[in-house]
């Protein structure tokens, strides 16, 4: 039976891209990550190598573009479960065949919904080389956050901040777009 889409958090709230706003949210225990401007992807990787990897979009529909064989092989190498399915989230830069991983939602067929983001993040691979995958690092200082907000790249949209609260609620994530950065 195929793995079903998991409604994961999507930011509905936004903070200003200022040093003061960033410092406030970090002081409340939230964690920052770079927000990549791509296509949201939820990868469902089966333990059974004969089953296909599923790539859902934000609306819970399968992406029209399928994972190229090299990306599928990398996903299995980095993210295969022992049993059942693993489910991870990322931003897919389709023209570059690259996915920036940022959250782990299901591990070995067990939902991680009761965990907070930092505990889920511990399941993502971080020490690896891959032409197709990169795990987005955590950002815990206002200075580093402001560096991201000053990045001129079109691929970098800004920041997202993740709450120390458990679950996949939209209230556990806040966005900060990089336009008009002020210190």
pLDDT tens, residue by residue, 2-49: 899 999 888 889 999 999 999 999 999 999 999 999 999 999 999 999
End-to-end CA, the chain = 51
Task: Report the CATH number at residue 162.
Answer: 3.30.470.30
Residues 6 or more apart whose CB falls under 8 angstroms from that of 183 comprise 18, 19, 146
In a domain, 6, yes or no: no
Domain containing 103 equals 13-177
- pLDDT reported for residue 183: 42
Q: What is the pTM of this model?
A: 0.94
- pLDDT reported for residue 1: 67
Is residue 105 within 8 Å of residue 88, measured between CB atoms?
yes
In a domain, 59, yes or no: yes
In a domain, 21, yes or no: yes
In a domain, 156, yes or no: yes
**Where does the pLDDT of residue 179 fall: very low under 50, low under 70, confident under 90, or very high at 90 and above?**
confident
User: In total, how many domains does the chain have?
Assistant: 1
In a domain, 77, yes or no: yes
Which pLDDT tens digit goes with each residue over 128-145?
A: 999 999 999 999 999 999
- pLDDT reported for residue 11: 87
Half-sphere exposure of 160 (CA within 13 A, CB side): 23
In a domain, 182, yes or no: no
In a domain, 1, yes or no: no
In a domain, 143, yes or no: yes
Enumerate the H helices of 33-141 as residue ranges: 69-79, 117-121
């Amino acid at each position: 039976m195929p793995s079903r889409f998991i409604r994961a958090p999507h930011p509905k709230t936004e903070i200003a891209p200022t040093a003061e706003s960033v410092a406030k949210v970090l002081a409340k225990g939230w964690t920052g990550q770079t927000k990549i401007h791509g296509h949201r992807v939820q990868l469902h990787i089966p333990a059974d190598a004969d089953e296909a990897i599923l790539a859902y979009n934000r609306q819970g529909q399968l992406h029209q573009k399928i994972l190229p064989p090299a990306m599928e092989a990398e996903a299995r190498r980095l993210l295969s479960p022992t049993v059942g399915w693993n489910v991870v989230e990322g931003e897919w830069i389709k023209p570059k065949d690259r996915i920036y991983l940022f959250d782990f939602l299901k591990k070995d067929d067990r939902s991680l919904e009761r965990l907070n983001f930092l505990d889920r993040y511990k399941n993502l691979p971080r020490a690896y080389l891959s032409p197709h995958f990169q795990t987005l690092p955590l950002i815990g200082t206002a200075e580093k956050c402001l560096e991201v907000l000053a990045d001129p790249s079109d691929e970098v949209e800004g920041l997202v901040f993740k709450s120390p609260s458990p679950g996949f609620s939209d209230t556990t994530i806040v966005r900060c777009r990089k336009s008009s950065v002020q210190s």
